[in-house]
Chains A and B, each alone.
Chain A
């Protein structure tokens, strides 16, 4: 038996799945769909930061371009923490291509642009 909190709406139903995969506790159909997805292939967008070589912008924020399997989050963090950005880049630019063979890229969510006086 496993319990989920449905996050489709603010009501937050506690949905219970028994050993025969019967779903109960949800007050609407969307809750059942949510829980079936969570059971079969839960995915998440991962957001974190990467290092840069610029002292005035020590970190730049990044995200996965698509959700990745929940089980890969910690492994993806290890890969992302190996990277250091060494040039100016824009929002959406790819930092790591096809991370952990998921067909998902790690992209910047912050512009890395130095101010003139700091160059």
Chain B
């Protein structure tokens, strides 16, 4: 049986995309590898979710439940405990190879696919951390799952490397459960986490934050368990400064050192990838360089708020439906490029074939800027600008403008100017 749309991943993103596509009357199948829907929200038991979408503050499981309820009410087809192991294309149709206990290995076909497979955590191997390789060095998200879903504490004396939000949230969580949290080290001179997490997860419990510091040694005991770590201050080029060593006896080192979109499924399709987002390049309809293949949520770009994941994925679901309805015309696209002080931009293309789609550009600044003007140029011509009182890399920025009158032969460039 040929499906209209197969959605891969049943977290915040996949749920929202399935719901919006189903509401457009499409036949949707969602595939999830875990035994429940909701994805990573299920382990994010802290509150602060939903302020933009629901105007209320929910915990992760509550936010997920809202979407799962709507998903179930719409009677959308789904498979759980099922992993997609291969994604391929035959002319205009997609072939999805999946694997599960009940179905074994099976191929299904679809006219369109939405990737909403989230992201994974960077591990120790990706930052070349020196020292022994004992038990007790674990990513913050894994520790969060063990604690909040399974009820296991991974340790009693904890240090955290990286000040991303998950690390900060876990500092508080482990402290509340009785662990001694000795500190958080951040290699950058500023924190990557939201201010409210610095205040409510660290300052509330007098947990020190060591900025411009990193872990320079890891020591194992005779049983290959973590015994101690050393942190050191770094200079502007991130080289450790001698005689700044601090030694901590700990049984756990949590890593909160970044998230990377999970796009391994795209390997066989030769999708055009953006080295900056480490995900597929898209146009304003969230469509990749492969026609009919859409991507959204944290598998497209790492978001700081789940509300933005839901909104983005809702739009991606509608785009997939529009694609099937043949609403896309002759294609002619220009690039949208990051310029001065811009870390990355998504979408990376503006496709005039999708001229009915609003253009909503998301981007991050490469540094903290007070009194900024965001400018969009086409060649020498300034086509859009807006003032922003304050821009930080930790918070995603958006801009939107009508593009139908633009020159269709020249690329766009986004810059942030300091006033």
Contact = CB atoms under 8 A, between A and B. Distances in A.
B62 A58 contact: no
A89 interface: no
Contact of B59 (A12, A63, A111): A63
B151 A45 contact: no
Contacts of B65: 91, 110-111
A44 to B, nearest CB: 7
B376 interface: no
A48 B392 contact: no
Interface residues of B, number: 34
Contacts of A73: 176
Given A49-B148, A51-B151, A61-B148, A5 B198 contact: yes
A39 interface: no
A101 to B, nearest CB: 20
B45 A47 contact: yes
A108 to B, nearest CB: 9
B47 A12 contact: no
Given A47-B47, A63-B59, A7 B150 contact: no
Contacts of A51: 151
A58 B151 contact: yes
B46 A5 contact: no
A9 to B, nearest CB: 8
A25 B46 CA distance: 30
Interface stretch (B199-207, B330-338, B343-351): B199-207
B390 interface: yes
Interface residues of A, number: 27
B177 interface: yes
A77 interface: yes
A59 B177 contact: no
A7 B59 contact: no
A91 B46 contact: no
Contacts of A1: none
A55 to B, nearest CB: 11
B204 A61 contact: no
A59 B204 contact: no
A111 to B, nearest CB: 7
B419 interface: no
A10 B395 contact: yes
A7 B168 CA distance: 15
B72 interface: no
B247 interface: no
Interface string B266-309: 00000000000000000000000000000000000000000000
B45 A7 contact: no
A6 B200 CA distance: 11
B151 A49 contact: yes
Given A7-B200, A10-B395, A110 B61 contact: yes
A48 B199 contact: no
Contact of A47 (B59, B178, B370): B59
Contacts of B200: 7, 44
Interface string A4-18: 111101111000000
Interface in A36-74: 44-49, 51, 58-59, 61, 63, 70, 73-74
> Closest 7 interchain pairs by CB?
A61-B45, A12-B195, A7-B196, A110-B61, A109-B59, A59-B151, A58-B151
18 contacts: A4-B199, A5-B198, A6-B195, A10-B194, A10-B394, A11-B389, A11-B390, A47-B47, A49-B151, A51-B151, A58-B151, A59-B149, A61-B59, A63-B47, A77-B176, A77-B177, A109-B45, A110-B45
Interface of B: 42, 45-47, 57-62, 65, 147-151, 173, 176-178, 194-196, 198-200, 203-204, 370, 389-390, 392, 394-395
Given A48-B45, A70-B204, 17 more contacts: A10-B195, A10-B392, A47-B47, A47-B59, A48-B176, A48-B177, A49-B148, A58-B151, A59-B148, A59-B151, A77-B176, A77-B177, A77-B178, A91-B61, A91-B62, A109-B45, A110-B42
